[in-house]
Amino acid sequence: MRHYLSAFLFFASAWLICGCDAVPPPAKKPPVSQPAAKKPAASPTARDYNNSGTVYLREEKLDEAAAAYQRAIAIKPTLVAAHHNLATVYVMQGKLGEAIKAYRRVIELRPDMASAYADLGRAYGFAGRLDEAIAEFEKALTRDGTLVYAYYGIGVAYRHKRMFPEAIAALEEAISLQPDFPDALMQLGTIYRETERLAEAIAAFTAIHQLNPNHAQAHHELGECYTQQGAYREAVAAFERALQLAPDADETRNLLRVARARLARQK
Global confidence as pTM: 0.78
pLDDT at site 35: 55
Q: Which residues of 78-116 are buried (b: 16+ CB within 10 A; e: fewer)?
A: ebbbbbbbbbbbbbeeebbebbbbbbbbbbeeeeebbbb
pLDDT at site 36: 55
Strand ranges (DSSP E) for 8-164? none
- Does residue 7 sit in helix, strand or coil? helix
Contact 182, 215 (CB under 8 A): yes
From first to last of its 267 residues, what are the pLDDT tens digits of the chain?
333 222 222 223 232 323 333 333 344 445 555 555 555 567 889 999 999 999 999 999 999 999 999 999 999 999 999 999 999 999 999 999 999 999 999 999 999 999 999 999 999 999 999 999 999 999 999 999 999 999 999 999 999 999 999 999 999 999 999 999 999 999 999 999 999 999 999 999 999 999 999 999 999 999 999 999 999 999 999 999 999 999 999 999 999 999 999 999 987
pLDDT at site 266: 83
Residues of the chain with CATH 1.25.40.10: 45-111, 128-178, 181-267
Q: Which fold has domain 181-267?
A: 1.25.40
User: What angle is formed at CA 118 by the lines to CA 112 and CA 120, rounded to 5 degrees?
Assistant: 95
Q: Which fold has domain 128-178?
A: 1.25.40
Cα–Cα distances in Å, from 159 out to 95, 167, 183, 215, 233? 24, 5, 13, 22, 30
> Helix, strand, coil % (nearest 5) of the chain?
75, 0, 25
For residue 225, count other CB atoms closer than 10 A to its CB: 27
CATH code assigned to 45-111: 1.25.40.10
Diameter of the chain by CA atoms? 115
Cα–Cα distances in Å, from 118 out to 88, 93, 105, 149, 167? 12, 19, 14, 7, 16
